[in-house]
A and B are shown apart, each in its own frame.
Chain A
Amino acid sequence: MIVQIRRHFRLILNYIDINWKNSTEYRKDFIILFFDFIVITLLSIIFWRAVFGNTDQLGNWQFEELVILGIFGSTSWALSDFFAGAWQLPEKITQGALDKYLTKPIHPLFAAIMESMQLEETCKGVLAFTLLSIVASVKYNYSITITNVLLSIVILVIGVCIISLMRIFFSLFTFWIGQSNGLNVILHLEDFNFERYPIDIFGKYLKYLLTWCIPVGYLATYPTVIFLRKSENNLIIFLLGVLVLATWFIIVSFLWKRGIKRYEANGG
């Protein structure tokens, strides 16, 4: 088991190395993408500034806190591009491109996802998150601790992994129904901008839904409340996140095992 984990970890490093070379091929584009990330975060801030024209507070949220929520929200989508292969999975299945991975001594799903990572998006997310969170912390003087900052990042990573597993889950339906991008469109959560709003505003039932079923709360709201020390249930939030992640991992593994038996490589 440990040998397997070490081997896969080494493989991830190799994929990162290869993708880094691809990403740095377009250096000017990388710099523009970095500025784009800042604009995306600004969209969220402009939105809340306009809304706060009428009031000082949104429930128990102040404008300064929603700035951090916006930073976490945009970072989450940038980080999720590390698993960009989830979007390309339906095409690989319908075109028979999985053959390449099936003949290698490596888990085919793992290889298919890792091969298509968009490292430049992830890097710009990490860089811009660091810069923006420092600027915001200095400007608004948040009361933060190293432990809380680190824990909020862990929660964010858990959230990104859960959403990526959900995307893989829907992509795997391609084995049964052919092209399944239509289903993925429903999961194109960026369009719904859930991460822009604190999930408290949706009320009790929807808050549960956005924590358990479509856990977008783990992309922005929960990392923000931990970052700003607004929550006393950090451990519960962490354990719940791990539980949801493990559940989705089991579901995806099960579906993959069933789906791969139906693979016909008809496009290959």
Chain B
Amino acid sequence: MVDDKRNIRDNFFKYLSVLRIASVIKKAYILDFIGKLIYLPINLSILYLVWYRIFQYMGIERLNDYSLLELYRYYYVVRIVGYSTSFYKQISYKIWNDITYGEISKFLCRPISYLKYQFFYGLGYIRYNLLISVPLFLIGTLLFRNQQLSISSIIFFLASLSLSIITTFFFNTLIGLITFWTEAIFGVKDLILHVGMIFSGALIPLEFLPRYIALIGWLLPFNSMVYIPVSIGLGNLSEITVFKYLLIQLVWIIILASMTTQIWSWGQRRYEAQGG
């Protein structure tokens, strides 16, 4: 019993150190950090300008039942969610690189889990993204005078955003693990990412698209990564719907985590460490 507790504690501190290392690396280049710091506000300002000009240029008040402010608020939260999860979207490339060049060998012979390492390392980076995106979400809420958004909605949004980050990690890790069976994953990764933009509502609100596209979206994990946190972040949902959405996200995490663990286990048997 005491040994178990000690193991859990040691494990916790081991991965916490990984998170700290990532944070130190991130902080090493301060101008690089500042560049990324101003990226999101610039992106959000351009977004407003673009939609303002489209509405003005077309001389319309509403676009598919969305006013300019409503549409901007939608894309604002889409960008916040996208920025918060951005590091994990690239993790498949890192895994491809590690498998192809034999980098995972060092993890296989050390008392550290490769997948947990990648998760906590990524978290070290993501926490800086959250330092920017979460305050911007709160500022946006105040600026747009979103009456529907209460304190509990904000807490629900943060919970949903966290689940979205975890879903993104597992989903992209799965794509990365395909490397055990194929030579390259770049095409697959980009294709899934771009197709996902349609089904997740990242390209355009799902209400703008034919109904069957939205239905297909619910059968795939893309909604858990973008549409659900965005819908909760807009504060238009009832509490029951919010709980239902959070449950869907949890179910997807369980499914993707189980698949990742299983595929990682199968993949290790095929691993040849050619570059190791």
Contact = CB atoms under 8 A, between A and B. Distances in A.
A39 B190 CA distance: 10
Contacts of B185: 29
Interface in B28-49: 28-29, 31-36, 38-39, 42-43, 46, 49
Given A28-B182, A50-B208, A185-B36, A201 B57 contact: yes
Contact of B204 (A28, A46, A177, A202): A46
A263 interface: no
A143 to B, nearest CB: 24
A28 B203 CA distance: 27
B191 A39 contact: yes
Contacts of B38: 186
Contacts of B29: 177-180, 182
A199 to B, nearest CB: 10
Interface string A174-194: 000111111111101001111
Contact of A55 (B60, B195, B204): B60
A33 interface: yes
A47 interface: yes
A1 interface: no
Contacts of A206: 49
Contacts of A28: 182-184, 187
Interface string B38-73: 110011001001100110011010111000000000
Given A33-B186, A201-B57, A183 B35 contact: yes
Contacts of B204: 46-47, 50
Given A53-B208, A185-B39, A186-B38, A58 B32 contact: no
A51 interface: yes
A32 interface: yes
A32 B191 contact: yes
Interface string A118-147: 000000000000000000000000000000
Interface string A26-43: 101111110110011001
A55 B58 contact: yes
Tell me if A's interface is mostly helix, strand, loop or mixed: helix
A197 B50 contact: yes
A39 B54 contact: no
Interface string B1-44: 00000000000000000000000000011011111101100110
A203 interface: yes
B187 A29 contact: yes
Interface residues of B, number: 40
A87 B57 CA distance: 36
B174 to A, nearest CB: 16
Given A177-B31, A182-B35, A202-B49, A46 B203 contact: yes
Contact of A185 (B35, B53, B64): B35
Contact of A51 (B32, B42, B63, B209): B63
Nearest to B195: A39
B48 to A, nearest CB: 12
A51 B54 contact: yes
Interface string B183-201: 1111110110011011000
A186 B187 CA distance: 25
B54 A58 contact: yes
A221 to B, nearest CB: 14
A80 to B, nearest CB: 15
A36 B185 CA distance: 12
B64 A182 contact: no
Contacts of B194: 36, 39-40, 43
A31 B187 contact: yes
Contact of A47 (B46, B53, B203): B203
Contacts of B49: 202, 206
Contact of A25 (B60, B64, B183): B183
A202 B191 contact: no
Interface in A182-233: 182-186, 188, 191-194, 197, 201-203, 206
Contacts of A197: 50, 54
**A-B pairs with the 6 shortest C-beta distances?**
A182-B35, A32-B187, A182-B32, A26-B184, A179-B29, A29-B184
10 contacts: A29-B184, A29-B187, A32-B187, A39-B194, A54-B64, A185-B39, A186-B35, A193-B50, A194-B46, A202-B49
Given A43-B194, A201-B50, 4 more contacts: A46-B198, A54-B64, A55-B60, A206-B49
Interface of A: 25-26, 28-33, 35-36, 39-40, 43, 46-47, 50-51, 53-55, 57-59, 177-186, 188, 191-194, 197, 201-203, 206
